[in-house]
Structure 1
Amino acid sequence: MMTGTPGTALAPILVLLVVLALDAWVYSDARKRLRRGDPVSVSVGSVRVETPEAWFLGCLILWVVFFPLYLVASGRNPFAHGSR
């Protein structure tokens, strides 16, 4: 007999799929910008994140930090006042 509401077991899988899709978008967007000569880069102390691979790995490992950081660094800051 199953307990809990239907779909409860699917929630973590759906969240994971959304996060992976956003990671893939970050990689794709960072590659396009690098090819145009406008790489997205951030420096924190001696650590520099600027390659599409570094952004992807950062988002994959610590999404809650790197995804918003990518949005801000790429000029897609949804947290800024006056943004669309």
Structure 2
Amino acid sequence: MTGLSPTALVPILVLLLLLGIDTWIYADARERLKRGDPVAFSFGSLRVETPQAWFLGSLILWVVFFPLYLTATGRNPFR
């Protein structure tokens, strides 16, 4: 058998999907910042407002930052 097995491809595809979503978050946040409508979130001393901060947050803790970004932009998936 040559190449990767389908079982080995699943984590790679998931990683690529997450990186694609993180890249979309960065591009969308950057575009909103250019338009003068930055995406910002604060909780106590934590403040996320730059495209780079959104990208890094979603890269490190995607399960928290992706829904948070959607909510902060008005695209609430939980409505």
TM-score band (shorter)? over 0.9
The AA in structure 2 aligned to 1:42 is F
What stretches of structure 1 of length at least 5 have no aligned partner?
A: none
Identity of aligned residues (%): 72
Q: Which has the larger radius of gyration?
A: 1
Q: Detail structure 1 runs of 4+ shifted over 6 Å in the superposition.
A: none
Aligned residues: 76
Q: How does 1:1-84 map to 2 (within 5 A)?
A: 6-80=5-79
Higher helix share: 2
TM-score with structure 1 setting the length? 0.87
RMSD of Structure 2 on Structure 1 (CA): 1.1
TM-score with structure 2 setting the length? 0.92
1:35, distance to aligned residue in structure 2 (A): 0.5
For 1:21 and 1:65, the matched residues in 2 are separated by 16
